[in-house]
């Protein structure tokens, strides 16, 4: 062992099983050459620490190279509230994603029922004062509050931000701003989901010219012209990094008076925009693209369903004749772009969806049929991708800094694992030794044609192998889109990355040519690091909320119920299984498998027992629930009919009375 003498600082990250880790502020190289970036914190030391606590630690490096803390001392607590469940003795069992142990409840606690979920303000080490409570801890509004607290998602905006909103909403264009092209004469439309209020993109189109070229204008709300850098409003938008969309709750990056009204491209209102105009040739190539500041007016707002109906021959009353004609030209442009996407490969918008989803309306969760994507979804996806690529090229050609979106190619293990899963699921993609964008396009075409539970499962595994893209100041390739250069430009109301790109464009349009007119590389790097973290947090919160809702549903189901599922992952402790209809994933532990001696096969694609029975990627199984733990988010499963295994149990608090309705 190699002890570390000096204190080392970092951020605590709890595990739902009671231990934790400290992610070090700086990696440390020990005298024997071991590089340490994080440190294991045993349960006795983890008790009392909360997620995101700054701590000082001393640790030692084990023979296997892992670091274990011997001391962990709180140095700074950034959280002000905790969430948990009341236990006998009026103590609060913390949400395991926040930390372990029990906290003493203070204040007026006499009326708190045992088993209630409680939001509490931290008053001291291990003590908290309840501020809200829910008698059913798995009610939708209680689950929402749990996830919100986990990820420190603010419900409100600072007073300084709200003080600026009215002035921003009523502001006139400032002097010295770039001259705006007046495009209000063009038939212009938006296409979005019926529930969307923050409309940040609109479309216009010119009919084909003599050579067949179609000019498409993608208009994006000009947030940068109204939300100035250095204001409290901008600082809060940067801190949030992105709007957060959870079932039953939305936290816009910008206050609703701006995001849903003053800046939203609502029909019949004059709006400032940044417009990227692209000429799309008959073969789908973008032969010219330019960006300009414009003034537009949307003539119609269409839902995806209404747009698809209109394109399918229907004539919804809300589609004026000139808008319908524009929509048909846009369909032609989208089809042309699809040709190029097909030629270069990659994947387009996911169109194979689960059968069911869970929605929350006024605090109540319900299973509903998932809304499948339609041709209008695909049309918008193609046009937005093309606009983002065009702006990336525009910025690179001018040598400007940017916030680019890059996506590396998956590692060498992806091709054989995905090939095996596909083969077990009835598909033979024939990838070869590595995945290519054209491989992905060919597989996507097969999945779109099948459009069943099997295809959905393959999509899930495919997307997990592809991983997430990230923001970076350096332009680079995007593997999933088969793009040589890509960024986010089309959603500045919802994403700070897009707003940062808009500011670069504005600086150039205003005559900026020197480096002083733009953010320096260090600042752009720091911004990308921050918005990557904010994007991950928003995605984790959404995934956890959806899974929590499903776990509550599964926990309340018949204990003898069985579920069709597929193996979507393999590890030494068991196989990961995804339920067909809901797409919720859980684990079948080795201890739940019949037979003995289960271990991962040499190719890493399956578990095999001492008798050479295999269970691996793509295998279709029927499972029953042994534990659906809403608090930890863990789903434990067993194979159905496995020879009289233990009876199924679920982790669910009993209902006492109707929960308080707090979700809006």
**Would you give the distance in Å from CA 583 to the centre of its chain?**
16
Considering the domain boundaries, does residue 463 fall inside one? no
- Is there a single domain that holds both residue 352 and residue 234? yes
- Is there a single domain that holds both residue 188 and residue 214? yes
Considering the domain boundaries, does residue 366 fall inside one? yes
CATH of the domain at 71: 2.40.50.140
630, two tokens: 């809403």
- Is there a single domain that holds both residue 486 and residue 567? no
The helix (run of H) or strand (run of E) holding residue 290 is: strand 286-297
**How many angstroms separate the CA atoms of 653 and 116, rounded?**
8
Task: Note whether 536 and 614 are within 8 A (CB).
Answer: no
Considering the domain boundaries, does residue 139 fall inside one? no
- Is there a single domain that holds both residue 308 and residue 366? yes
DSSP conformation class of 247: T
pLDDT of residue 653: 33
Q: Rounded to the nearest 10 degrees, how much is the dihedral formed by the CA atoms of 525, 529, 531, 532?
A: 130
pLDDT of residue 388: 98
71 by Cβ neighbours in 10 Å (0-12 / 13-18 / 19+) ranks as exposed
Tell me: pLDDT of 5 over 60.
Answer: no
Tell me: pLDDT of 30 over 90.
Answer: no
- Is there a single domain that holds both residue 88 and residue 71? no
- Is there a single domain that holds both residue 126 and residue 259? no
pLDDT in tens, 233-258: 999 999 999 999 999 899 999 999 99
∠ at Cα 469 (467, 474), nearest 5°?
Answer: 140
Contacts of 515 (CB under 8 A, 6+ apart): none
Considering the domain boundaries, does residue 647 fall inside one? no
Task: Note whether 490 and 502 are within 8 A (CB).
Answer: no
- Is there a single domain that holds both residue 519 and residue 588? no
How much is the average pLDDT of 111-119?
93
Task: Note whether 360 and 248 are within 8 A (CB).
Answer: yes
Domain boundaries, position 487: 159-407+468-547
The neighbouring-strand residues paired with 96 are none
pLDDT in tens, 355-373: 677 788 777 887 777 777 7
- Is there a single domain that holds both residue 397 and residue 532? yes
∠ at Cα 517 (513, 519), nearest 5°?
Answer: 125
**How many angstroms separate the CA atoms of 642 and 218, rounded?**
57
**How many angstroms separate the CA atoms of 357 and 581, rounded?**
9
**How many angstroms separate the CA atoms of 553 and 623, rounded?**
16
Considering the domain boundaries, does residue 510 fall inside one? yes
Number of domains in the chain: 4
How much is the average pLDDT of 625-634?
94
Identify the top-confidence range among 110-119, 233-242, 317-326, 544-553: 233-242
- Is there a single domain that holds both residue 72 and residue 87? no
DSSP conformation class of 653: P
606 by Cβ neighbours in 10 Å (0-12 / 13-18 / 19+) ranks as buried
Tell me: pLDDT of 595 over 70.
Answer: yes
pLDDT of residue 237: 98
pLDDT of residue 643: 40
Considering the domain boundaries, does residue 414 fall inside one? no
Considering the domain boundaries, does residue 423 fall inside one? no
CATH of the domain at 112: 2.40.50
Considering the domain boundaries, does residue 353 fall inside one? yes
pLDDT of residue 351: 54
- Is there a single domain that holds both residue 36 and residue 103? no
Between 650 and 593, name the one with better pLDDT: 593
Placement of tokens 């007073």 in the chain: 159
**How many angstroms separate the CA atoms of 70 and 59, rounded?**
5
Q: By percentage, how much of the chain surpasses pLDDT 70?
A: 93
**How many angstroms separate the CA atoms of 196 and 250, rounded?**
10
Structure confidence at residue 582 as a pLDDT band (50, 70, 90): confident
- Is there a single domain that holds both residue 361 and residue 235? yes
Q: What is the mean pLDDT of the chain?
A: 89
408: left (phi over 0), alpha (psi -120 to 50) or beta: beta
- Where does a domain end: 547, 571, 586? 547
Q: By percentage, how much of the chain surpasses pLDDT 90?
A: 71
Structure confidence at residue 664 as a pLDDT band (50, 70, 90): very low
- Is there a single domain that holds both residue 264 and residue 364? yes
pLDDT in tens, 127-177: 999 999 999 999 999 999 999 999 999 989 999 999 999 999 987 765 545
Q: Which residues of 572-581 are buried (b: 16+ CB within 10 A; e: fewer)?
A: eebbbbbbbb
pLDDT in tens, 464-487: 888 899 999 999 999 999 999 999
329, two tokens: 């030209």
Number of residues assigned to the chain: 664
**How many angstroms separate the CA atoms of 621 and 329, rounded?**
47
pLDDT in tens, 282-317: 999 999 999 999 999 999 999 999 999 999 887 666
How much is the average pLDDT of 174-197?
85
């Amino acid at each position: 062992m190699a002890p570390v003498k000096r204190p080392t600082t970092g951020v605590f990250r709890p595990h739902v099983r009671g231990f934790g880790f400290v992610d070090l502020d700086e990696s440390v190289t020990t005298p024997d050459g071991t590089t340490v970036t994080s440190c294991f914190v045993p349960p006795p030391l983890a008790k009392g620490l909360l997620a995101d606590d700054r701590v000082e630690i001393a640790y030692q490096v084990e023979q296997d190279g892992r670091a274990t803390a011997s001391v962990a001392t709180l140095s700074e607590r950034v959280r002000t509230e905790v969430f948990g469940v009341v236990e006998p003795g009026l103590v609060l069992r913390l949400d395991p994603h926040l930390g372990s142990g029990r906290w003493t409840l203070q204040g007026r606690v006499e009326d708190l029922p045992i088993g209630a979920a409680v939001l509490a303000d931290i008053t001291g080490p291990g003590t908290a004062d309840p501020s809200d409570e829910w008698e059913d801890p798995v009610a939708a509004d209680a689950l929402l509050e749990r996830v919100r607290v986990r990820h420190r998602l603010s419900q409100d905006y600072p007073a300084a931000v709200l003080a600026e909103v009215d002035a921003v909403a009523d502001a006139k264009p400032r002097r010295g701003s770039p001259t705006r092209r007046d495009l209000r004469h063009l038939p212009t439309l938006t296409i979005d989901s019926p529930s969307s209020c923050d409309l940040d993109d609109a479309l216009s189109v010119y009919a084909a010219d003599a050579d067949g070229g179609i000019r498409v204008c993608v208009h994006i709300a000009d947030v940068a012209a109204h939300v100035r850098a250095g204001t409290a409003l901008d600082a809060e938008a940067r801190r949030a990094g992105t709007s957060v969309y959870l079932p039953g709750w939305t936290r816009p990056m910008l206050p609703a008076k701006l995001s849903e009204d003053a800046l939203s491209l609502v029909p019949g209102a004059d709006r400032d925009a940044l417009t990227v105009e692209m000429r799309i040739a008959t073969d789908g190539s973008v032969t010219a693209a330019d960006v300009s500041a414009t003034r537009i007016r949307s003539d119609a707002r269409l839902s995806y369903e209404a747009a698809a109906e209109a394109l399918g021959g229907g004539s919804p009353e809300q589609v004026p004749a000139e808008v319908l004609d524009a929509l048909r030209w846009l369909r032609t442009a989208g089809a042309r772009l699809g040709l190029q996407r097909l030629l270069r490969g990659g994947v387009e918008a996911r169109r194979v969806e689960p059968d069911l989803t869970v929605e929350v309306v006024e605090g109540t969760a319900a299973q509903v049929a998932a809304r499948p994507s339609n041709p209008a979804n695909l049309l918008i996806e193609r046009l937005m991708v093309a606009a983002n690529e065009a702006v990336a090229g525009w910025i690179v050609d001018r040598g400007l800094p940017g916030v680019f979106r890059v996506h590396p190619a998956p590692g060498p293990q992806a091709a054989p694992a995905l090939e095996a899963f596909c083969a077990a699921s009835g598909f033979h993609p024939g990838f070869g030794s590595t995945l290519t964008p054209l491989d992905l396009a060919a597989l996507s075409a097969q999945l779109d044609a099948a459009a069943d539970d099997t295809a959905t499962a393959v999509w899930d595994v495919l997307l997990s192998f592809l991983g997430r893209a990230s923001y970076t100041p350096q332009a680079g390739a995007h593997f999933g889109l088969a793009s040589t250069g890509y960024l986010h430009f089309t959603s500045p109301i919802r994403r700070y990355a897009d707003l940062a790109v808009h500011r670069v464009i504005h600086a150039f349009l205003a005559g900026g040519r020197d480096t002083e007119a733009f953010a320096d590389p260090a600042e752009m790097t720091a911004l990308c690091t921050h918005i990557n973290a904010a994007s991950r947090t928003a995605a984790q919160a959404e995934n956890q909320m959806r899974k929590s809702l499903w776990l509550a549903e599964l926990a309340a189901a018949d204990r003898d119920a069985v579920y069709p599922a597929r193996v979507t992952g393999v590890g030494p402790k068991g196989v990961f299984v995804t339920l067909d209809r809901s797409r919720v994933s859980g684990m079948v532990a080795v201890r739940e498998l019949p037979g003995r001696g289960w271990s991962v096969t040499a190719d890493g694609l399956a578990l095999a027992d001492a008798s050479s029975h295999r269970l691996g990627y793509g295998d279709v199984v029927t499972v029953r629930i042994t534990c659906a733990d809403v608090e930890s988010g863990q789903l434990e499963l067993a194979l159905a009919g496995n020879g009289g295994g233990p009876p199924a149990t679920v982790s669910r608090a009993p209902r006492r009375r109707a929960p308080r309705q707090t979700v809006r």
